Amino acid sequence: MHLKIDDDWAIASDEHCWIIQKYEQPTDSYPEGRWRNKAFLTSFESAINSLAKRLIRLSDATTFIGAIKDAQEVKSHLTEVFDGNIKEVNIEQCKLNMTLPRH
């Protein structure tokens, strides 16, 4: 199985596990580009959550508010990709433990 999330990411499977893949642009060695395995997981749910966490970690956010916004966008995007057929993308574990200064 190969489920394309967007132009850069996919979730694939084989007989043993679920695989997060990232697309690599064409090179001389791979003129059509290729999907590179990035993580191997035991369940579809863990693959979705792992991809969500990875996308949040790769965010370009420079502020706490920006990080929260990016996390919400990741959750919305993955939920939309799977047509709401997943109960929830669990990004709660990705929350930043940060105490905001009191004024």
Q: How far apart are CA 18 and CA 76, in angstroms?
A: 21
Q: Which residue has the tokens 């394309």?
A: 4
Q: How far apart are CA 5 and CA 11, in angstroms?
A: 7
* pLDDT (mean) for 75-84: 82
Return the pLDDT at 14.
94
User: Phi and psi for 26 in degrees, rounded to 5?
Assistant: -55, 145
Q: Say whether pLDDT at 99 is over 70.
A: no
First-last CA distance in the chain: 52
Amino acid at 13: S
Percent of the chain with pLDDT over 90: 63
pLDDT in tens, 37-77: 999 999 998 999 999 999 999 999 999 999 999 999 998 98
Return the pLDDT at 98.
45
Return the pLDDT at 40.
97
Round the average pLDDT of the chain to a whole number and report it. Answer: 84
